[in-house]
Amino acid sequence: MSFLSHLISGISLGSIYAIIALGYTMVYGIAKMLNFAHGDVIMVGAYACFFMVSRYEIPAVVGVLSAVVICTLLGIIIERLAYKPLRSATSLAVLITAIGISYFLQNAAQLLWTSNPKVFNSLMGDGSVKLFDGRLSISVTAIVTIVVCVIIMLALTWFTGRTKMGKAMRACSEDKGAAQLMGINVNFTISMTFAIGSALAAIAGVLLCSAYPILTPTTGSMPGIKAFTAAVFGGIGSIPGALLGGVLLGIIEIFGKAYISTQLSDAIVFVVLIVVLLVKPTGLLGKQVQEKV
């Protein structure tokens, strides 16, 4: 029974990683850059929702929606101010800018909201579902997290596969120049990608803080790094890869703690990552792209 309950905690933690990883993987796939500020957008989303719901007592649904709107705008603004001017710069310059934005967001949050931790009360309540005569209890938060993750994954698959915008995104990720020649507005497509990634970050922030309700300006940074790992693990650029990587990472982390050692749980996660990358350098579902000469 404890195996099952560990498995569920792992999947639930992994679902949060997967939603965050989607943001990394989409932006990488289309703009070919690592947006390290993504984790901090999560933090902003969580704060937005916290202030709406706990301070001003706005209904939870409205709180989440406005967090999504705020993060979407933030994502678009960051892209416009920090990344767009560097579109033709080297990828290293963009990477450093992203790290700079990450620090900027963390310090701005510290200035605005102080670094005193705040307790984020779960929007889903603290109830749990009991199975097998109460021997297995699953928290409602965990169930909602997993369901939301599945819905987001299905919606994104449909979006990238069936809609005009989604097709434009795939075109941009294959070849920006050719896409532009075919009449696709590349800049707008990239902005859209940031908007979607940031909206997902807001949802991830709310789910993360519902499951682990301590909110500080650095709340997003460690899950952000773990989710980036998940994105690489699953094959960066691949949407199903982000899901697979995230969920596997969550399960490995929890099982590592439960059955091997609580001291080594993070080390185990990264050892598995290294092994996978040695065997399959593009990640589990990554595509092997032949460089054309």
Partner 1 sequence: MKKFLLFLLTAAMLLAMTACNGDSSTGATATPAAGGQTSAGGSIKIGGTGPLTGGAAIYGQAARNGAQIAVDEINALGGIQFELQYQDDEHDAEKAVNAYNTLKDWGMQISLGSVTSTPCVATSVENNADRIFALTPSASAVAVTEGKNNVFQMCFADPNQGTASAQYINDQKLGTKIAVIYKNDDVYSSGIYETFSSKAAELGLDVVSTTTFTEDSQQDFSVQLADAKNNGADLIFLPMYYTPASLIFQQAKSMDYSPKYFGVDGMDGILTLEGFNAELAEGVMLLTPFNADSTDTRTVNFVAKYNDAFSEVPNQFAADGYDCIYAIYAAVKAGNITSAMSASEMCEILVKQFTTTSFNGLTGDNVTWGANGQVSKSPKGMIIENGAYVGMD
**Which residue in 18, 26, 293 sits closest to 166, CA to CA?**
26
Helices 140-162 and 186-211: crossing angle in degrees, nearest 10, is 170
111 binds partner 1 (CB under 8 A): yes
> Which part of the chain contacts partner 1 (CB under 8 A), choosing from 1-9, 36-44, 174-182, 198-206?
1-9
d(CA 252, CA 113): 34
Please say which residue, 154 or 260, places its beta carbon nearer to partner 1. Answer: 260
Question: Cβ 55 to partner 1, closest distance in Å?
Answer: 9
Question: Cβ 98 to partner 1, closest distance in Å?
Answer: 17
d(CA 250, CA 238): 18
128 binds partner 1 (CB under 8 A): yes
Residue from 214, 270, 275, 281 touching partner 1 (CB under 8 A): that is 214
| Binding characters for partner 1, 138-157, by CB under 8 A (x = yes) | -x-x----------------
d(CA 280, CA 277): 5
Max CA distance (Å), the chain: 64
CA-to-CA dists, residue 149 to 5, 204, 292, angstroms:
19, 9, 36
187 binds partner 1 (CB under 8 A): no
Question: Cβ 155 to partner 1, closest distance in Å?
Answer: 27
6 binds partner 1 (CB under 8 A): yes
Helices 60-78 and 38-50: crossing angle in degrees, nearest 10, is 150
Residues 237, 25: contact at Cβ < 8 Å? Answer: yes
Residue count at the site for partner 1 (CB under 8 A)?
A: 39
Name the 3-class secondary structure at 139: strand
CA-to-CA dists, residue 225 to 100, 156, 203, angstroms:
15, 22, 17
d(CA 41, CA 75): 8
91 binds partner 1 (CB under 8 A): no
Residue from 4, 61, 87, 114 touching partner 1 (CB under 8 A): that is 114
133 binds partner 1 (CB under 8 A): no
265 binds partner 1 (CB under 8 A): yes
Please say which residue, 52 or 239, places its beta carbon nearer to partner 1. Answer: 52
126 binds partner 1 (CB under 8 A): yes
180 binds partner 1 (CB under 8 A): no
Q: Which residues bind partner 1 (CB under 8 A)?
A: 2, 5-6, 9, 13, 50, 54, 81, 110-111, 114-121, 126, 128, 134, 137, 139, 141, 211-214, 216, 222-223, 253-254, 257-258, 262-263, 265-266
